[in-house]
A and B are shown apart, each in its own frame.
Chain A
Amino acid sequence: MKRVALILLFAATLSRAAAPEITVTPGVNFATVSGNDDKFRADFGRDDGWMGGIGEATWHQDLGNETTFDFAARGAFQLQLDLTKKEVGYLRAGFSQFRKYSDTTGGFYQPFTTPSFQLAGDPHLDIGNITVEVGLTLPKLPLITLGYERQYRTGQKSLLEWGGVTEAGVTRKIYPSVKNVDEQADIFKIGVAYEIKNIQLDNQFRYERYETDTKRVTLEEGKSVTVRETYQHDAFFNAFRLDSRLNEQVYWSVGYLYTTLSGDGGMSVNTALPVTAFDRNWVARVLDLGTESHVLNANLMFGPFKGLTLYTGVQAEQTDADGLTDALLTTGLSPTTTNQLQSTTDKTSLTETFGARYTKIPHTTLYAEARLTQQQIDLDEVQTGTAADNFVSQTDTEIFRQDYRAGFNTAPWRIVTFSGRYRYALYQNDYDASIDTAAGYPAYITMQDFTTDEVMLKLTVRPCTYFSASLQYQLVATDIQTGTAGVPALAPKGTRISGEYNANIYSVSATLTPISRLYLMGLVSYQDTCTKAFDNQAAAVTAYNGDVYTVLGTAGFVIDDKTDATLECSYSFSDNFKNNAAAGLPLGLDNQRTSLIAGLSRKFTDKVSARLRYGWYQYNETSNGGLNDYTSQLVSAACTVRF
């Protein structure tokens, strides 16, 4: 009986439905590649040759009774569905998947007879997710949402973890490796939101089941290392939040987040034909991990007078984590040993935020913000058992982070907007290794300070209706000061600048519409970056220094009342290769990427339109002898029909 009633209700609904608005866009495309097709696949996420099918499809229908139905598809791997009845609820579902290809070229070392290696096959990951969400939006009742999401990654990807190749007594790690990945997460969500007397209550609960099984294989001459990891966890999150705007001047919110995670898994490391002290076989038979976290925050925003907004917030966090492994170790050079490894972490932190925004100066906004964090982390690590490298380490870390920023945004004249921002950050870490039986490793760092200065200036001008331009400059400078413990007869204790990072980034963009039928947009960006670590004059280490230029251009032209043409070009260039092959493995990169895309679209009738695109792409990488170079062309045609 109920079924009949439901069918009648559905039929009645459809009888009141408006005609659907449907668009279908079948398309076909063809790509050719000359050169490294692995690199092309990795860049474009597709193979060469023909592809075709329904490129896009949409369906919108007003079903009557304030009910709408929407469906959108993009290719076969991106689908979205939405059924909404106003003031009753909604059902949303989605599916998306895309393929990410890997380039399997490893490192490059010019002096070798074979300077680079590439693995066969086309490793790729399929990355996707499926979502379903139901919401009840009944008036005067709580907004209730129920959701499910499945995320997955399966397949194979290449790694930046390379195996050794030896020639004439010289070893360089350049042989490529891959990793098999099988990973999925199932997430269930329940949300409830309600407003009582101008107070918004919101509770979000999430349960996550995560499972992963990975295997990475590194190949070297005469041996291979296989690392297999399995892991799964159950995690619960619950966030509760209250917020309210008391009046135009005062807004407050408080929130509490509770997280608990329980994980377990296993691991094995297998070295075929072990030959050195590093080549070991491991089996982690027991792996238990647990985390529990409480986060509490409170925020207040108020405006003592018009034009001034002040805000402040405080967030307290307590996190306990522990991990335990029982590992069976078999080295190639010593007898089998059994180790127990354990760590416990106790983290407490407090973050305070203060900020202000002032808008009373005509056409100007001023703002400033300070964020301070005090954190205490107590870390205990133990390795016991029969191995020779057992240790006990207790490290108490005190962290103090200061982050200040201030800026303005002003438009003194209609044609000019000028903005600027300055940020100063100091992150201080002090490590107190009260117990360190390994004497110098791993607890050899005693302090570390990160000091960052950032400046950003941006000028936008619109001198006339048909032209606007922006000029932006950013400076980022970070110094890292590190203190290390003394190691008897090897290294003294002390502090020094261990790393410096400096970047200047210039960007210029312009938009020009010289005639009503044409627009031209362009962007030029130049980055000059340098990272220099303390190398004690070791020739194996060279400063990472280089330039990156990017030029982007787009033009659109109205050919006639039904036809448009577009042209896009893109060019990027980097030069940070430094040849220190005699003393190390050069890893800098000199490359160029160029693309030129022309498109034509025409509206034949109100219901039929079509577009045609042609793209030419080129990639050159001189720093690895052109092994990754390719040139490709891509032609695509699509026709959109509206019903």
Chain B
Amino acid sequence: MRCALKKQYFTNPVVIGTISGLALIALAISCATVNRVVVVPPMIAGAKYVGMDSCALCHEKEVKNFTRTQHSRIELREVVDKEEVAGLGCEACHGPGSLHVEAGGGKGKFILSGKEADSCFQCHLDKRAEFSLASHHPVREGKMHCTACHNPHGDDINQPAGALHHRADAVCAQCHKEQARPRVFEHEAMREGCTTCHNPHGSINANLLVQRDNNLCLKCHAQVAAPNTAGTVMIGKVPHAGFAGNSLLQQGTCFSAGCHTAVHGSDVNSHLRY
């Protein structure tokens, strides 16, 4: 199948045309001289690193508190212009700060705001890949930022800036209030956190599910089986598979089959049917 895949792409006229065209353009202009150098995202054109000590002159509180953040674990002292300076903690994400310092500071002046996902993706490679999957939060599309869920300056990275709650799921509840609201009958899985069932960064499955088949539910709801009952799946007092040609698990996943649809909790049914 992979050979067929390669053939499919490398015989596609659009792909061939685009690659050839760009190669020709690159060849035609490669001899011309220019006075600029390319800027690799998320760098800042013409800026140099100045070190955290320079940042502390104005952003004293942020720099002092940096040592209690999880990001301080990656801080290393760096050599800039042959001098060892305090680690590039701030500039690792915000970009080199020399132009910002020269301009006397100011919001948005020659510094990355921290809302550019590329800053985070420099280190979080797996997250960058996950955001490219079919189901993902719209970070790459610019409709939300990593900082909507994570506070890079906080002592708990899984906490949005300014949030009142000190609980991981409060991050999700900011937007997904319907799913997070209290219910008469709770689903105990909610105690373990939203990430028990969802991968918030990205998944190949719809609704960011970590699995979309019965494994998602059965990994917690499996009941010890009686001897000589292979092929039968009991949950509570109810056989869910192996008792008939159209047994429940044959028809689909516990929630997608229309049975236990109140996966975030129910107000009227302790079995989370509605």
On whether the beta carbons of B155 and A299 are closer than 8 Å, the reply is yes
> Given A245-B64, A498-B218, does the pair A315, B166 have CB atoms closer than 8 Å?
yes
How far is A267 from B226 in the complex, measured between Cα atoms in Å?
39
On whether the beta carbons of B231 and A536 are closer than 8 Å, the reply is yes
How far is A411 from B76 in the complex, measured between Cα atoms in Å?
8
> Given A282-B274, A383-B270, A540-B250, does the pair A482, B222 have CB atoms closer than 8 Å?
yes
Interface string of A5-42 (1 = CB under 8 A from B): 00000000000000000000000000000000000000
Partner of B37, one of A103, A516, A587: A516
> Given A214-B178, A585-B252, does the pair A239, B164 have CB atoms closer than 8 Å?
yes
Interface string of B193-237 (1 = CB under 8 A from A): 000000000001111011111111111111111100111111111
> Which B residue's beta carbon lies closest to that of A559?
B29
Residues of B that sit less than 8 Å from A by CB: 5, 9, 14-15, 18, 22, 25-26, 29, 32, 34-41, 64-65, 67-68, 72-77, 79, 107-108, 123, 125-126, 128-130, 132-134, 138, 141-143, 155, 162, 164-166, 175, 177-178, 181-186, 191-192, 204-207, 209-226, 229-239, 241-242, 245-247, 249-253, 255-259, 261, 267-268, 270-271, 273-274
How far is A552 from B68 in the complex, measured between Cα atoms in Å?
34
| A contact residues around B75 at 8 Å (CB) | 359, 365
On whether the beta carbons of A289 and B233 are closer than 8 Å, the reply is no
How far is A43 from B216 in the complex, measured between Cα atoms in Å?
24
How far is A414 from B82 in the complex, measured between Cα atoms in Å?
12
On whether the beta carbons of A587 and B184 are closer than 8 Å, the reply is no
> Given A239-B164, A444-B223, A480-B219, does the pair A557, B212 have CB atoms closer than 8 Å?
no
Interface string of A572-599 (1 = CB under 8 A from B): 1110100000011101110111101010
Min Cβ gap B162→A in Å is 7
Partner of B220, one of A263, A482, A508: A482
On whether the beta carbons of A548 and B220 are closer than 8 Å, the reply is no
On whether the beta carbons of A151 and B175 are closer than 8 Å, the reply is yes
On whether the beta carbons of B256 and A160 are closer than 8 Å, the reply is yes
On whether the beta carbons of A536 and B219 are closer than 8 Å, the reply is no
Subset of 20 A-B contacts with CB under 8 Å: A43-B134, A107-B256, A162-B257, A164-B251, A183-B177, A341-B270, A342-B184, A381-B270, A441-B235, A441-B236, A472-B126, A513-B38, A521-B41, A541-B218, A541-B241, A557-B38, A559-B25, A585-B251, A587-B213, A619-B134
How far is A593 from B219 in the complex, measured between Cα atoms in Å?
29
Partner of A501, one of B74, B164, B219, B251: B219
> Given A325-B184, A381-B185, does the pair A212, B178 have CB atoms closer than 8 Å?
yes
A112-120, A134-142, A485-493 - interface stretch: A485-493
How far is A238 from B175 in the complex, measured between Cα atoms in Å?
19
- Residue of A74, A311, A538, A542 ringed by the most chain B CB atoms within 10 A: A538
On whether the beta carbons of A267 and B274 are closer than 8 Å, the reply is yes
| B contact residues around A301 at 8 Å (CB) | 67-68
